[in-house]
Amino acid sequence: MNAPVKTPEERQAELQGMGDARLRKEDARFIQGKGQYCDDIKLPGMLHMDIVRSPIAHGRIKNIKKEEALAIPGVHAVLTADDLKPLNLHWMPTLAGDVAAVLADEKVHFQMQEVAIVIADDRYIAADAVEAVEVEYEELPVVMDPYGALEDDAPVLREDLAGKDEGAHGPREHHNHIFTWEAGDKEAADDVFASAPVTVSQHMHYPRVHPCPLETCGCVASFDPIKGELTTWMTSQAPHVVRTVVSMLSGVPESKVRIISPDIGGGFGNKVGVYPGYVCAIVSSIVLGKPVKWSEDRIENISSTAFARDYHMDGHLAATEDGKILGLKVDVLADHGAFDACADPTKFPAGLFHICSGSYDISAAHCSVKGVYTNKAPGGVAYRCSFRVTEAVYLIERMVDVLAQKLDMDKADIRRKNLIRKDQFPYTSPFGFEYDSGDYHTALEKVLNAVDYKDLRAEQEEKRNDPNSPTLMGIGLVTFTEVVGAGPTKMCDILGVGMFDSCEIRIHPTGSAIARMGTISQGQGHQTTYAQIIASELGIPSEVIQVEEGDTSTAPYGLGTYGSRSTPVAGAAIAMAARKIHAKAKKIAAHLLEVSEADLDWEIDRFKVRGNEDQVKTMADIAFAAYQQPPEGLEPGLEAVHYYDPPNFTYPFGIYFCVVDIDKGTGESSIRRFYALDDCGTRINPMIIDGQIHGGLTEGFAVAMGQQMPFDEQGNLLGNTLMDYFLPTAVETPAWETDYTVTPSPHHPIGAKGVAESPHVGSIPTFTSAVVDAFAHLGVTHIDMPHTSYRIWKKLKEEGVQL
Amino acid sequence: MAKQIVKMTINGQQVEQLVDSRTLLVHFLREQMNLTGAHIGCETSQCGACTIDIDGESVKACTHLAVQCDGSDVKTVEGLAENGALHPVQEAFYEEHGLQCGYCTPGMLMRSYRFLQENPNPTEDEIRTGISGNLCRCTGYQNIIKAVQSAAVKLQDKETASA
């Protein structure tokens, strides 16, 4: 009996292609405790590495005594910078063109810096040995304030750079200066400011924060001395680049280095860089000929691996009296810590900070970012954002609010007046970015209607006039644009490798498929969504498409997952690889159906002969034929590889709205409502998009309302456990409302723009906008983050707010 | 280091093992018993990624010694599914997209499993408080809460069906 013929709708639904809220393929292993994270890996004979760290922020190492540690049974080695020197591995290059100490070489530059490593039979013995290593220090004066770092008589932090007046990004003006980077047209901006009727200025500090994924960093390095092969499982967001770096550092040919990023327990930018712990574990494995595991603890993670932000910003806007913005100027002092280890494309030492003209049509703009060394941990990574976009969006959104207050304009009105109009796209910003597409005004009105903006303003007015109101009410509004999908290789590279990404698809004879990718998921659900793209392109059900990534020995070279680049770059590579297969499949179908290719139409999962719709070949039929007897002139098999070099970045945008109620007595804030409209272009899986947005909003909430890395004058980090560092629980986390519009990217093969970082980037200034708005009637134009209850309470007292 | 014999039931199986007296329960489970579902996120009882169930209570295995569990009945995420069938909390986390990177998931599942026995019909606020010892960096909790609500319904339906 023949199977019932399926309708096109049924066939479409079976594919679970783009647009389908398909449940996640990766979940089965995670919900049964069968994920495989780095620390789950156990190899025969594996040793454990632990790290001796500096208790002080700046000092000279006088002496390191290893004997007592080496005497502990089960300890195999204690290594210091002196042991790495003969291998020339005591320093390593950073992604930002600087060098960083692998193990402290004569000096320590920040608290918790790596000073020595111990290798032992198990992690307990290793911890004992760490305690037993005695290090004698001579303390040096500490530089914690980045402004103080540039004073003439400031202590010299980086003695290793003595005499180097030229850094990776131009001349160094001072012994603690790293670079000064500028974008835009200073003269044009100065001219506008000289004649503008209205100008406003605001200083703001974007605090140092840490991405703090739930899984810390770690690796298992396994060198096979007989084969000369090095395999390393590593918590890396960019395994291929790591392979290149490891090969360069170790001298092991890249063909004999295999980096595997297994399941990763969150990254958020923290797992982009190459840390001393990885290098030391690899060196230890090569030296000892045994597998070596390193698992960082939480205090080590927060204290020593890459932080984010720490930008001291001065923003200036020039405008007409009726609120049309004419010019923007920004000056930033960037605290990079002890080594310049920012993870940015090579040409951009301040990342894509020059997206700071935001969603607004501004004719003249200039920005300048100065990087300095201090006695803090190195880093400066993109914490769930694309290379300093979070700082840029915060700056411009704050400045637009400040201007609105100066002009006594409503914050929605000033945005209506200045947002780039739909008909202006593609729009070239004063910093030279070409925004691909957008419809900001439609999205703004959609949000304002959804939240009953006018009613909320009326309620706020009522509360402000009521001395008995127990709360201050604040309304936050942000209309942001991101720049993601780095990036075009003509502009973006990491260590000289262009920031393309890649996909290899193989269709098996029976019609199922495997795709291998240069990216690596850390929770984004690539195994689910990438398959959906292929399903829609090739008519193969998602369910039978396997997606693999993270193993450099099987996956094509790619630059990894960070900066919302997976969908914009790798997602495009998938579509392009699939289209190569589609083109070949069409030739095979024409051959099988004995017609010309021009007579074929594609429908969901099959080619049909035009005018004779019973004559069809499904992708499954074609796959088998490809391996059986391909038409003359075609190779057997059905597979393709594509390396995608994006022609431009993509520019997702969003309109975020927040209502906060602040207790006048305690300073406690309560997020009454948070409404997030995102436009990420074509939507691949709405369920996953919503999940990513919830997560990004929650991380934004954490940054705005509580995260900070405070130091005392001696350079001690005052909060480096999860007791002190704010990760919101379910109790503090607000309920999120999400919405969307769809404005596809015109240059992306499927029109997708990337989404996971927008909610982080967009929500942070929204919270600040709301908190400041609660005080706006008192003349307050800005309050620095984090908006903790204590800091808000102090502000209430400062402003004389009475209960 | 002094070693000691411990006997306990883990996921229904009797085990007898020699452990160092200072071995943390989470290391014992992960490294000696090869049950790597419970994860380590903080080692200070803040994050809950190592949450398991001991004698009917949620316990953070990172700040518990293996020797403290002598004679105990221990359940980990690996023991949630029975006879090849997922537990309703596992089904619900899958269906409601209650996980992303998966690192907090075993602890979150084990806490939800216990919480729904303590409070079979919770309000949203009670769920938020009930899982507040478990941190998640990916989901913003919204779908986790939906999953716990859905699991509560599933468990009640199951109870009704078997009554």
Comparing C-alpha atoms, which of A773, A676, A783 is closest to residue A471?
A773
Specify whether A384 is catalytic. Answer: yes
Specify whether A298 is catalytic. Answer: no
Residue listed under structure tokens 């000696």: B32
A44 token code pair: 């025969």
Specify whether A11 is catalytic. Answer: no
Segment B99-155, tens digit of pLDDT:
999 999 999 999 999 999 999 999 999 999 999 999 999 999 999 999 999 999 999
Residues of A in contact with B136 (CB under 8 A): 214
Those residues whose C-beta lies under 8 Å from the C-beta of residue A736, and which sit 6 or more positions away, are: A674, A676, A693, A694, A697, A698, B140, B142
Q: Which of A219, A280, A385, A492 is catalytic?
A: A385
Segment A29-83, tens digit of pLDDT:
999 999 999 999 999 999 999 999 999 999 999 999 999 999 999 999 999 999 9
Considering B29, B44, B79, which residue would you say is the last residue of a domain? Answer: B79
- Integer CA distances (angstroms), A234 to A280, A293, A497, B34, B126, in order: 13, 10, 20, 20, 38
- Where residue A250 falls among pLDDT bands split at 50, 70, 90? confident
Tell me the nearest-neighbour CA distance from B82 into chain A, angstroms: 11
- Best residue in B20, B78, B103 for a mutation probing chain A (most A CBs within 10 Å): B103
Q: Residues 55..94 of B with a Cβ closer than 8 Å to A: which?
A: 76-78, 80-81, 86, 90, 93-94
Q: What angle do CA A328, A332, A337 make, to 5 degrees?
A: 160
Q: Where residue B111 sits, what CATH number does that domain have? A: 1.10.150.120
**Average pLDDT rounded to a whole number, residues A695-707:** 98
Same domain, B74 and B127: no
Backbone angles phi, psi at A604, to 5 degrees: 60, -70
B2 token code pair: 């002094």
- Burial of residue B48, with CB atoms counted within 10 A of its CB: 0-12 exposed, 13-18 middle, 19 or more buried: buried
The string of DSSP codes covering A227-239 is TTEEEEEE--S-H
- Where residue A487 falls among pLDDT bands split at 50, 70, 90? confident
Residues of B in contact with A28 (CB under 8 A): 94
- ipTM over 0.95 threshold: yes
Same domain, B156 and B102: yes
Give the domain ranges of chain A: 8-35+501-644, 38-140+216-264+271-304, 307-486+649-798
- Where residue A802 falls among pLDDT bands split at 50, 70, 90? confident
Angle between helices A758-775 and A686-705 (to 10 degrees): 40
Q: Which residues pair with B8 in a beta bridge?
A: B15
Residue A563: the pLDDT is 87
3-state DSSP call for residue A794?
helix
Inspect the interface and report whether the beta carbons of B142 and A735 lie closer than 8 Å: yes
- Where residue A343 falls among pLDDT bands split at 50, 70, 90? confident
pLDDT of A539 > 90? The answer is yes
pLDDT of A2 > 80? The answer is no
Q: Measured in whole angstroms, how far is the alpha carbon of residue A317 from the centre of its chain? A: 28
Q: What is the distance between the alpha carbons of residues A137 and A37, in angstroms, rounded to a whole number? A: 37
Quick one: closest CA in A to B94, which residue?
A27
CB-nearest partner of A722 from B47, B94, B141: B47
Angle between helices A686-705 and B142-162 (to 10 degrees): 120
Specify whether A24 is catalytic. Answer: no
CB-nearest partner of A32 from B46, B90, B142: B90
Q: Which of A12, A16, A111, A237 is catalytic?
A: A237
Q: What is the distance between the alpha carbons of residues A582 and A65, in angstroms, rounded to a whole number? A: 65
Inspect the interface and report whether the beta carbons of A30 and B30 lie closer than 8 Å: no
Q: Residues 111..140 of B with a Cβ closer than 8 Å to A: which?
A: 127-129, 131-140
Inspect the interface and report whether the beta carbons of B44 and A736 lie closer than 8 Å: no
Inspect the interface and report whether the beta carbons of B94 and A690 lie closer than 8 Å: no
B23 part of contact set with chain A, CB < 8 Å = yes
Same domain, B71 and B101: no
Inspect the interface and report whether the beta carbons of B97 and A688 lie closer than 8 Å: yes
Same fold? A8-35+501-644, A38-140+216-264+271-304: no
Residues of A in contact with B80 (CB under 8 A): 32
Q: Where residue B45 sits, what CATH number does that domain have? A: 3.10.20.30
Same domain, B108 and B52: no
Segment A624-678, tens digit of pLDDT:
999 998 898 999 999 999 999 999 999 999 999 999 999 999 999 999 999 999 9
Comparing C-alpha atoms, which of A605, A502, A593 is closest to residue A555?
A502
Residue B163: the pLDDT is 79
CB-nearest partner of A214 from B44, B127, B137: B137
Q: What is the distance between the alpha carbons of residues A726 and A41, in angstroms, rounded to a whole number? A: 30
What domain count does chain B have?
2
Segment A130-143, tens digit of pLDDT:
999 999 999 999 99
Residue B1: the pLDDT is 65
pLDDT of A481 > 70? The answer is yes
CB-nearest partner of B139 from A124, A297, A695: A695
Considering B44, B62, B79, which residue would you say is the last residue of a domain? Answer: B79
Superfamily of domain A38-140+216-264+271-304: Aldehyde oxidase/xanthine dehydrogenase, a/b hammerhead (3.90.1170.50)
3-state DSSP call for residue B141?
coil
Same domain, B70 and B92: no
The CATH classification number of A307-486+649-798 equals 3.30.365.10
Least confident of A32-41, A85-94, A102-111, A310-319: A85-94
- Where residue A607 falls among pLDDT bands split at 50, 70, 90? very high
Those residues whose C-beta lies under 8 Å from the C-beta of residue A800, and which sit 6 or more positions away, are: none
Residue listed under structure tokens 């793209």: A533
Same domain, B54 and B111: no
Inspect the interface and report whether the beta carbons of A736 and B140 lie closer than 8 Å: yes
pLDDT of A1 > 70? The answer is no
DSSP-H helix ranges across chain B = 25-27, 88-95, 105-118, 124-130, 142-162
Q: What is the distance between the alpha carbons of residues A499 and A645, in angstroms, rounded to a whole number? A: 7
**Average pLDDT rounded to a whole number, residues A399-408:** 98
Quick one: closest CA in A to B49, which residue?
A214
Q: Which residues pair with A640 in a beta bridge?
A: A505
Mean pLDDT of chain A: 96
Beta strands per DSSP E along A664-771: 669-679, 737-740
Between chain A and chain B, how many beta carbons pairs sit less than 8 Å apart? 176
The CATH classification number of A8-35+501-644 equals 3.30.365.10
Same domain, B7 and B75: yes
- Integer CA distances (angstroms), A499 to A95, A391, A488, B100, in order: 13, 22, 7, 26
Q: Pairing mode, if any, of strands A114-120 and A107-108? A: unpaired
Residues of A in contact with B1 (CB under 8 A): 124
Domain residues for the domain of B37 are 3-79
Comparing C-alpha atoms, which of A369, A389, A367 is closest to residue A316?
A367
Least confident of A1-10, A607-616, A763-772, B44-53: A1-10
**Average pLDDT rounded to a whole number, residues A13-38:** 98
Residue A630: the pLDDT is 86
Tell me the nearest-neighbour CA distance from A238 into chain B, angstroms: 16
Segment A176-206, tens digit of pLDDT:
999 999 999 999 999 999 999 999 999 999 9
Q: What angle do CA A710, A714, A715 make, to 5 degrees?
A: 45
Rg of chain A's alpha carbons, rounded to an integer? 28
Residue A741: the pLDDT is 98
Those residues whose C-beta lies under 8 Å from the C-beta of residue A20, and which sit 6 or more positions away, are: A13, A532, A542, A685
Considering B79, B100, B125, which residue would you say is the last residue of a domain? Answer: B79
Mean pLDDT of chain B: 97
